[in-house]
């Protein structure tokens, strides 16, 4: 075997596998296209590999997708920027396939290549490609064309620019809704490259046509265009051209369009600036908050805080707050839930007095909501309101809400409230917690659902971290250790896991004096599962307890377990013993 | 119907083609019975689905290329009157029988509906559905490729037990990274090839001469229906479609099969309160926000998707109130609508109930603008029809592209064509055989001669087993495709 052959072999295999029957092998070869290209050299890559790939356009979509992606970073392998244009033909074919994700990737790669190409090359190669695609027989080519204009346009001559603008406006009036949707989606990007003079005239005309399209799906995408175009225009033009469109959209007969406005409203406000927001968009927003369609109200309710932030507190109190009150008793639970997830954030915006006067009653009513998600959403954001008015005003209503959630029949709800207990504890303080919530935390350890017991054990650890070992020694450890005699082994198991979680927080002394004896007792449990978990817990104690205790208590216990009749118990105790030996050796 | 000009003359229907014709005495296999027929948008293709879960595609052959076509015609010495002619193109297995283990329910493979989607790059796309699962198919001509001139010899089974499997090249690689070993049987081959000089690399040569049609399932929209799907319909936005079952209508995005939105939910809180089910649903041909659905109580509801996300309240209701005196035990059953179709422009809706075809103007809710009796001679026999369940047969209906005529099926493989333009009295009865007009004249009187009798049901005059449920009108020409059990008959006028 000659030395030259060796590196060629794997390459030869890769090349052959480009045409293998097995799709996985073809994919693999395409992924290593750069390796093949390096072996062939730049010239042969240009003259053989790329044309070869151009013909490979009826492969499976997965292969085409991979090819579209690889070609996007292929410039170095064809000889640098000078030859970048040779990559365009295969990508052009990929821009016309039926599968959307392949086309999108091909467009992305073309944009990536185009943005690096020299200006003259763009004029010679890229712009003709865009024009060809835009005039494509099938809609697939025209859809792809829309995403390439912003790369082609800047380097075109004046005449070509005018032509490109005309072509784009034709695409916006295409018979196929898919093409109009693509044109609508890409309008913002294209507009950003167009000169201000044309922006105001031609692009705005295109935009206006799109906003009046028959197809809801096209108008929907035009809403997004509002924000993008608004940022490009001078403020006065934005107010003159974009603002009216937004206001009309906010009253569109299709709820989906109004939903988009509600979702995009913050960006739209940024686009038009603070003054028009106050005069024109506040009424529009208020309408959306009172929309007939629940979906629209959900979207609008979710933006209450963000929107209030850009208004003055007076305006927010005057216009937004009345709507918020209505929404807090909305007929749709999802609306109330969306509101509950953001409304706490309004407290800092409105300030202390308004929060107490206006928001507090709403918080309280949402805390009593029949739908658990609403209550949970309020509780999850408690810290935001605590900063403004303190927790005392809320605590009276909070407790019943928490207790009810803690006992909810859906375990996911119980799980969610457990997650928030450390947050509540930190906000409410030790005193409140001791009185009211301590018992709940213990109760969860005996829940019927494993996930709840697991979360409860974890919760104890987080509480110990929050309030410190001394507090935990008083309020958690005794209660936990009491439960170790539960007749059901699954509950004993929970206690065992709680002990192993608490040990690192409590420190060596308490672990040795309080926790370890209990664990050692459990080593005599009649259930094997408990015994091998004892072995695991003892292993986890290694870094915590000191050597003397280790030798005196832990090791004998493990040695005994290593003789257990149960195979798993023996296995885990031997592992633990090995771990001890290792630590001993290293010290 | 849109123009009030002269009523067109009655058409003279002629037999054009038959696919899957039954030989005399041949027994029909259950799986071969056609259960769905659909022309594509421009009428160049026709798809049928059957109870065996297969979809068969036919392609129009009579207008391939002007020049060639004329020559063919001359050679065949055909008459100059041109009518659509189709040939078998391909078929594929769309659905397989399944078993729902959670509900202990068998899911039949029978195709309930087929809908054509937007063509792209000469590939055909269609949706097909059985009771539960909708599938999106792409049918495309694929080149059959011959690849030769590999760098390495194409692995042959003869060399060292090498089989043409995909892992062969991989073993090459491992062989090399390990430096190769002398006992390795591959080594011989390696040396061999390297002697013949793998000093250069080249790309394989691909040649392709033939093409073959390949159907691939692109998307499967499943697990969204608790009841049996009765309709699917594409939206004019080419992005979404609906699927309707007995109680719900769901909205899908063609590209997303993992979720759908429920837009109509008729399920009562207590199933005992159920009085009405959805029987058919269709999108308006051009207004993306409008769709119509029919119910078992004989009403058609028009809903506007713009109004709200869940469209339980309709924007328009079409129903005809029966005169109080004429109500009978069967009134409710026979008023159930089995199929609705929008006219091409979307202004009219055609509906079929057990005894009649009705044409509705969507601007007029008070009653149908026209009613056609399909098989009035069966009215005295409703009791028998009820007893053998025939009264629950679901007949489809269709409109001609110009909206001037409507058609629907009946029993004994008969179907009827009515003129629905103003003043038209056209009412033709045709039989799905090679001689469609054979029984046109004599059948109605014969039915009349046997009033009320239930025993005189003989295969010749009144055959309930040979029902013609499915038929479709070509979108632009006077041509009808209809299914007589396992045979597809085509007629033209």
User: Any idea where the domains of chain A sit in the sequence?
Assistant: 507-586
**In angstroms, rounded to a whole number, what is the distance separating the alpha carbons of residues A439 and B474?**
75
Which stretches of A345-468 are DSSP H helices? Answer: 346-354, 360-367, 372-380, 382-389, 392-406, 411-428, 430-432, 438-444, 450-467
**Whole-Å CA distances, B161 to A470, B157, B189:** 75, 6, 12
The whole-number pLDDT of residue A527 equals: 93
Written as six digits, the tokens of A63 are: 């292969």
CB contact under 8 A, A19 and B152: no
* Higher per-residue pLDDT: A515 or B454: A515
The whole-number pLDDT of residue B174 equals: 34
Please determine, for residue A63, whether its predicted confidence score (pLDDT) is greater than 70: yes
**In angstroms, rounded to a whole number, what is the distance separating the alpha carbons of residues A175 and A186?**
17
Q: Is the dihedral of CA A440, A443, A444, A447 positive or negative?
A: negative
User: Residue A469 is inside which H or E element, if any?
Assistant: helix A469-475
Lowest-pLDDT range of A7-16, A503-512, A568-577: A7-16
The whole-number pLDDT of residue B195 equals: 42
Please determine, for residue B447, whether its predicted confidence score (pLDDT) is greater than 60: no
pLDDT confidence band for A11 (50 / 70 / 90): confident
Q: How far is B187 from chain A (nearest CA, A)?
A: 10
CB B47 within 8 A of CB B88: no
Residue carrying the six token digits 């906000």: A427
B237 touches chain A (CB under 8 A): yes
The whole-number pLDDT of residue A500 equals: 94
pLDDT confidence band for A6 (50 / 70 / 90): low
Q: How far is A308 from chain B (nearest CA, A)?
A: 27
CB A28 within 8 A of CB A70: no
CB contact under 8 A, A15 and B201: yes
CB contact under 8 A, B166 and A253: no
CATH 3.40.1400.10, applies to A507-586: no
CB contact under 8 A, B204 and A2: no
The rounded percent of chain B whose pLDDT value lies above 70 is 80
The whole-number pLDDT of residue B63 equals: 67
Q: How far is B195 from chain A (nearest CA, A)?
A: 8
Which of A13, A181, A253 minimises the CB distance to B306?
Answer: A253
Mean pLDDT of chain A: 90
The whole-number pLDDT of residue A573 equals: 94
The whole-number pLDDT of residue B205 equals: 83
The whole-number pLDDT of residue A535 equals: 95
A450 touches chain B (CB under 8 A): no
**In angstroms, rounded to a whole number, what is the distance separating the alpha carbons of residues A98 and A136?**
13
The whole-number pLDDT of residue B326 equals: 77
pLDDT digits (tens, 9 = 90+) for B336-348: 999 999 999 999 9
Chain A from 45 to 74: CB within 8 A of any B CB = 48-49, 52, 55-56, 58
CB contact under 8 A, A16 and B202: no
pLDDT digits (tens, 9 = 90+) for A288-316: 999 999 999 999 999 999 998 888 888 88
Q: How far is A417 from chain B (nearest CA, A)?
A: 29
ipTM of this complex = 0.82
Span B363-389, average pLDDT: 92
Q: How far is B352 from chain A (nearest CA, A)?
A: 30
B138 touches chain A (CB under 8 A): yes
B210 touches chain A (CB under 8 A): no
Longest Cα–Cα distance in chain B: 100
Span A201-219, average pLDDT: 92
Q: How far is A287 from chain B (nearest CA, A)?
A: 16
CB contact under 8 A, B151 and A39: no
pLDDT confidence band for B446 (50 / 70 / 90): very low
Chain A from 214 to 233: CB within 8 A of any B CB = 214-217
The whole-number pLDDT of residue B296 equals: 95
A23 touches chain B (CB under 8 A): no
CB contact under 8 A, A13 and B169: yes
Please determine, for residue B192, whether its predicted confidence score (pLDDT) is greater than 50: no
The whole-number pLDDT of residue A265 equals: 87
Determine which of B123, B169, B181 to mutate to test the interface with A (most A C-beta atoms within 10 Å).
B169
Mean pLDDT of chain B: 82
- Return the residue of B nearest to A53 by Cα: B203
Nearest to B398 by CA among B414, B373, B422, B417: B417
**Residue-wise burial string across A299-321, b where 16 or more C-beta atoms lie within 10 A, e elsewhere:** bbbbbbbebbebbeeeebbebbb
pTM over 0.90: no
B206 touches chain A (CB under 8 A): yes
pLDDT confidence band for B76 (50 / 70 / 90): low
pLDDT digits (tens, 9 = 90+) for A417-437: 898 888 888 888 888 777 778
Please determine, for residue A277, whether its predicted confidence score (pLDDT) is greater than 90: no
CB B109 within 8 A of CB B50: no
**In angstroms, rounded to a whole number, what is the distance separating the alpha carbons of residues A430 and A397?**
18
Compute the half-sphere exposure of residue B214: CA atoms within 13 Å on the CB side of its CA.
12
How many other C-beta atoms can be found within 10 angstroms of the C-beta atom of residue B204?
18
How big is chain B, counted in residues?
Answer: 493
Chains A and B: how many Cβ contacts under 8 Å?
A: 125
Written as six digits, the tokens of A516 are: 């370890």
pLDDT confidence band for B445 (50 / 70 / 90): very low
Lowest-pLDDT range of A512-526, B52-66, B187-201, B286-300: B187-201
The whole-number pLDDT of residue A198 equals: 93
Lowest-pLDDT range of A189-193, A502-506, B74-78: B74-78
Span A243-261, average pLDDT: 92
CB contact under 8 A, A12 and B152: yes
Which residues, other chains included, contact A350 with Cβ-Cβ below 8 Å and sequence gap of 6+?
A308, A313, A316, A317, A321, A358, A359
pLDDT digits (tens, 9 = 90+) for A375-413: 889 888 887 877 777 777 777 778 888 888 888 888 888
**In angstroms, rounded to a whole number, what is the distance separating the alpha carbons of residues A223 and A210?**
10
pLDDT confidence band for B393 (50 / 70 / 90): very high
CB B238 within 8 A of CB B117: yes
The rounded percent of chain A whose pLDDT value lies above 70 is 99
Span B131-157, average pLDDT: 81
CB contact under 8 A, A215 and B173: no
Span B154-158, average pLDDT: 46
Which residues, other chains included, contact B404 with Cβ-Cβ below 8 Å and sequence gap of 6+?
B1, B8, B419, B420, B421, B424
Q: In what order do the strands lie in the sheet with B124-129?
A: B113-116, B124-129, B134-148, B205-221
């Amino acid at each position: 075997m000659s030395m030259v052959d060796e590196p060629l072999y794997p390459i030869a295999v890769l090349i052959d596998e480009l045409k293998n029957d097995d799709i996985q092998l073809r994919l693999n070869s395409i992924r290593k296209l750069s390796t093949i290209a390096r072996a062939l050299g730049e010239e042969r890559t240009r003259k053989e590999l790329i044309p070869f790939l151009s013909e490979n356009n009826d492969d499976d979509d997965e292969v085409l997708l991979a090819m579209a992606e690889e070609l996007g970073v292929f410039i170095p392998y064809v000889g640098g920027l000078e030859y970048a244009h040779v990559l365009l033909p295969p990508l052009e074919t990929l821009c016309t396939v039926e599968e959307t994700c392949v086309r999108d990737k091909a467009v992305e790669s073309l944009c990536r290549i185009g943005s690096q190409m020299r200006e003259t090359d763009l004029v010679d190669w890229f712009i003709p490609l865009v024009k060809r695609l835009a005039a494509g027989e099938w809609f697939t080519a025209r859809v792809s064309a829309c995403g390439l204009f912003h790369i082609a346009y800047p380097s075109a001559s004046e005449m070509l620019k005018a032509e490109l603008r005309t072509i784009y406006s034709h695409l916006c009036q295409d018979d196929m809704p898919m093409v109009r949707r693509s044109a609508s989606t890409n309008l913002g990007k294209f507009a950003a490259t167009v000169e201000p003079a044309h922006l105001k005239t031609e692009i705005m005309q295109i935009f206006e046509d799109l906003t009046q399209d028959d197809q809801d799906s096209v108008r929907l995408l035009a809403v997004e265009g509002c924000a993008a175009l608004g940022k490009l225009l001078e403020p006065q033009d934005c107010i003159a051209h974009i603002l009216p469109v937004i206001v009309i959209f906010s009253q569109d007969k299709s709820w989906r369009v109004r939903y988009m406005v509600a979702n995009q409203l913050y960006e739209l406000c940024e686009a038009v600036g603070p003054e028009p927001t106050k005069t024109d968009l506040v009424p529009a927003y208020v309408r959306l908050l009172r929309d007939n369609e629940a979906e629209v109200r959900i979207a609008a309710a979710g933006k209450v805080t963000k929107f209030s932030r850009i208004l003055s507190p007076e305006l927010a109190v005057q216009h937004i707050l009345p709507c918020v009150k209505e929404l807090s008793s909305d007929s749709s639970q999802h609306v109330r839930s969306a509101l509950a997830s953001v409304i706490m954030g309004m407290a800092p915006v409105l300030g202390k007095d308004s929060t107490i006067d206006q928001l507090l009653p709403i918080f309280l009513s949402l805390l009593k909501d029949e739908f658990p998600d609403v209550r949970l959403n309020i509780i999850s954001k408690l810290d935001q309101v605590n900063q403004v008015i303190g927790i005392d005003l809320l605590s009276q209503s909070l407790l019943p809400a928490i207790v009810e959630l803690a006992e909810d029949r859906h375990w996911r709800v119980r799980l969610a409230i457990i997650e928030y207990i450390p947050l509540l504890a930190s906000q409410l303080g030790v005193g409140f917690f001791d009185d009211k919530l301590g018992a709940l935390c213990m109760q969860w350890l005996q829940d019927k659902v494993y996930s709840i017991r697991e979360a409860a054990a974890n919760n104890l650890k987080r509480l110990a971290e929050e309030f410190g070992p001394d507090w935990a020694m008083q309020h958690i450890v005794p209660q936990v250790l009491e439960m170790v005699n539960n007749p059901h082994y699954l509950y004993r198991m929970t206690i065992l896991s709680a002990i192993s979680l608490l040990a690192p927080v409590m420190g060596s002394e308490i672990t040795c004096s309080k926790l370890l004896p209990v664990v050692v007792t459990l080593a005599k449990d009649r259930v094997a599962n408990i015994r091998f978990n004892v072995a695991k817990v003892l292993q986890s104690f290694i870094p915590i307890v000191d050597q003397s205790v280790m030798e005196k208590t832990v090791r004998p216990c493990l040695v005994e377990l290593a003789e257990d009749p149960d195979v798993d118990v023996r296995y885990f105790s031997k592992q633990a013993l090995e771990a001890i030996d290792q630590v001993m050796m290293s010290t | 119907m849109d123009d009030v000009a002269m009523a067109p003359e009655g058409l003279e229907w002629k037999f054009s083609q038959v696919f899957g014709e039954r030989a005399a005495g041949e027994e029909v296999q259950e799986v071969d019975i056609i259960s769905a027929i659909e022309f594509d948008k421009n009428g160049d293709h026709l798809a049928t689905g059957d109870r065996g879960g297969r979809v068969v595609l036919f392609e129009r052959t009579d207008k391939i290329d002007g020049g060639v076509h004329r020559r063919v015609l001359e050679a065949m010495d055909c008459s100059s009157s041109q009518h659509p002619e189709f040939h078998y193109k391909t078929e594929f297995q769309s659905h397989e029988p399944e078993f729902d283990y959670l509900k202990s329910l068998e899911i039949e493979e029978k195709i309930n509906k087929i809908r054509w989607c937007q063509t792209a790059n000469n590939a055909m796309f269609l949706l097909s559905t059985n009771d539960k699962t909708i599938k999106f198919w792409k049918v495309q001509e694929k080149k059959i490729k011959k690849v030769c001139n590999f760098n390495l010899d194409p692995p042959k089974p003869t060399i060292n037990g090498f089989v043409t499997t995909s892992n062969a090249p991989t073993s090459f690689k491992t062989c090399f990274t390990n430096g190769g070993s002398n006992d390795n049987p591959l080594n011989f081959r390696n040396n061999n090839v390297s002697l013949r000089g793998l000093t250069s690399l080249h790309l394989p040569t691909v040649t392709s001469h033939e093409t073959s049609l390949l159907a691939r399932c692109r998307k499967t929209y499943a697990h969204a229906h608790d009841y049996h799907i009765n309709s699917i319909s594409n939206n004019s936005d080419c992005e979404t479609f609906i699927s309707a079952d007995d109680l719900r209508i769901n909205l899908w995005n063609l590209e997303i099969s993992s979720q759908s939105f429920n837009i109509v939910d008729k399920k009562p809180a207590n199933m005992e309160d159920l009085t009405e089910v959805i029987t058919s649903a269709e999108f308006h041909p051009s207004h993306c926000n409008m769709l119509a659905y029919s119910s078992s109580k004989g009403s058609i509801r028009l809903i506007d998707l713009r109004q709200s996300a869940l469209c339980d309240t309709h924007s328009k209701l079409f129903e005809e109130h029966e005169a109080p005196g004429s109500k009978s035990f069967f009134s409710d059953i026979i008023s159930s609508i089995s199929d609705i179709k929008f006219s091409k422009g979307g202004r009219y809706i055609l509906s079929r109930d057990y005894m009649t075809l009705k044409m509705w103007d969507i601007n007029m809710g008070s009653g149908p603008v026209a009613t056609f009796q399909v098989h009035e001679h069966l009215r005295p026999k409703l009791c028998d029809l009820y007893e053998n369940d025939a009264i629950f047969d679901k007949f489809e209906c269709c409109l001609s592209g110009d909206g001037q005529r409507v058609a629907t099926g009946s029993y004994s493989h008969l179907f009827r064509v009515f003129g629905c333009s103003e003043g038209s009295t056209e009412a033709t009865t045709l039989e799905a055989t090679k001689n469609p007009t054979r029984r046109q004249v004599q059948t109605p009187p014969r039915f009349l001669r046997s009033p009320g009798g239930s025993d005189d049901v003989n295969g010749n005059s009144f055959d309930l087993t040979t029902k013609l449920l499915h038929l479709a009108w070509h979108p632009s020409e006077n041509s009808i495709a209809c299914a007589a059990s396992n045979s597809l008959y085509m007629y033209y006028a």
